[in-house]
Amino acid sequence: MTVKSDNAVLNGIYNSDIAYVLHPLTIRHLAREWLKEDTPNFDYGGFVVGEKEETAVLLIKSEGVLAGKPFFEAIFKELDCMVHWEDIQEGSFIKPIKAVATVSGKVRQILLAERVALNIITRASGIATAAKRLRTIVEDLGWKGEVAGTRKTTPGFRMVEKYALLVGGVSTHRHDLSSMIMLKDNHIWTAGSITKAVKDAKVVGGFSLKVEVECRSLEDAREAASAGSDVVMLDNFSPDALSKTAAALKAEFPHLIIEASGGVTEHNIAQFCDPNVDVISLSRLTQGYDVVDFSLKIRKEGIDPRNLPVNITTS
């Protein structure tokens, strides 16, 4: 399946503006913590190279969607390095090998930030690439619902992963436990019933938070909707069972948001694109995703920064 290269708009959001969701102080804090983690004491390599001014080129070496520019910039900014991007927008699909940016500054500082910045951009771009592929699949089918990630994110790395989902054109789902009230089996078993769990959730959530209930049957979903749940998640339903259950629920509760989750992959998502399903969520987007390969090379006269494979021949 070929990823579309229409880079101007993703779900009505201009790529150049997506970074506005990120708080500048939060990005700065993350950049500092990542750099401190990577160099907790002496910078031995820095002693070797010193503080000569150099320029490095950022190369994309496998095809994918570019994501993570604000984090990449913030890391180098903390070390007084300047990043200059080529005319490539966040969310652009790029074929390798291509130079996408240059970084200028004291060489010791560039190398301090190199691996940290690459770790971020490779992972963010990997998520955005997978998200864009899924978005393309459902759009080609004419399905009007939303593909979403889940809260199954990497501890300490959630903001980057959720941001990358947006760049790829899918929904982030709830950002954390405070963003929406999701009542799963453990909540319901402990509360005693779906109705009681929803009622108690409404007391603390008030009018401003949606309540979602994980359901394993049509009866559970009907109880959740009748109790006032805004969203029901039909968990681990086969495509056929999902279609029949979603149709019955929409007929009875037209404004109910229906989410399908469990067992969804890039290869079978088309089977879940039912007209009565509003959201399809899957953890694969933030768990076990492939990365996009980037490298950062100091620019030197006569040296090819692409670092092509070495072929050894014997006589």
pLDDT at 8: 37
What are residue 302's phi and psi, to 5 degrees? 85, 0
pLDDT at 14: 39
Tokens of 284: 């694969």
Q: Is the pLDDT of residue 259 over 60?
A: yes
For residue 85, list its beta bridge partners. 101
Per the omega criterion (within 30 degrees of 0), is the bond before 269 cis?
A: no
Confidence of residue 125 (pLDDT cuts 50, 70, 90): very high
Per-residue model confidence as pLDDT tens digits over 82-109: 999 999 999 999 999 999 999 999 999 9
Tokens of 147: 């593909």
pTM of structure? 0.90
Q: Is the pLDDT of residue 37 over 50?
A: yes
Confidence of residue 13 (pLDDT cuts 50, 70, 90): very low
What is the rounded distance in angstroms from the CA atom of residue 89 to the CA atom of residue 133? 18
pLDDT at 300: 83
Q: Which of 4, 77, 98, 152 is catalytic?
A: 152
**For the chain, what percent of residues have pLDDT higher than 70?**
92
Per-residue model confidence as pLDDT tens digits over 146-168: 999 999 999 999 999 999 999 99
Confidence of residue 5 (pLDDT cuts 50, 70, 90): very low
Nearest to 124 by CA among 96, 154, 159, 161: 161
- Average pLDDT of 68-76? 98
Contact of 298 with 55, CB cutoff 8 Å:
yes
Nearest to 183 by CA among 259, 109, 238, 86: 259
Going by C-beta distance under 8 Å and a sequence separation of 6 or more, which residues neighbour residue 142? none
- The mean pLDDT of the chain is 92
pLDDT at 311: 67
> Can 162 be counted among the known catalytic residues?
no
Per-residue model confidence as pLDDT tens digits over 57-68: 999 999 999 999
Nearest to 146 by CA among 10, 50, 23: 10
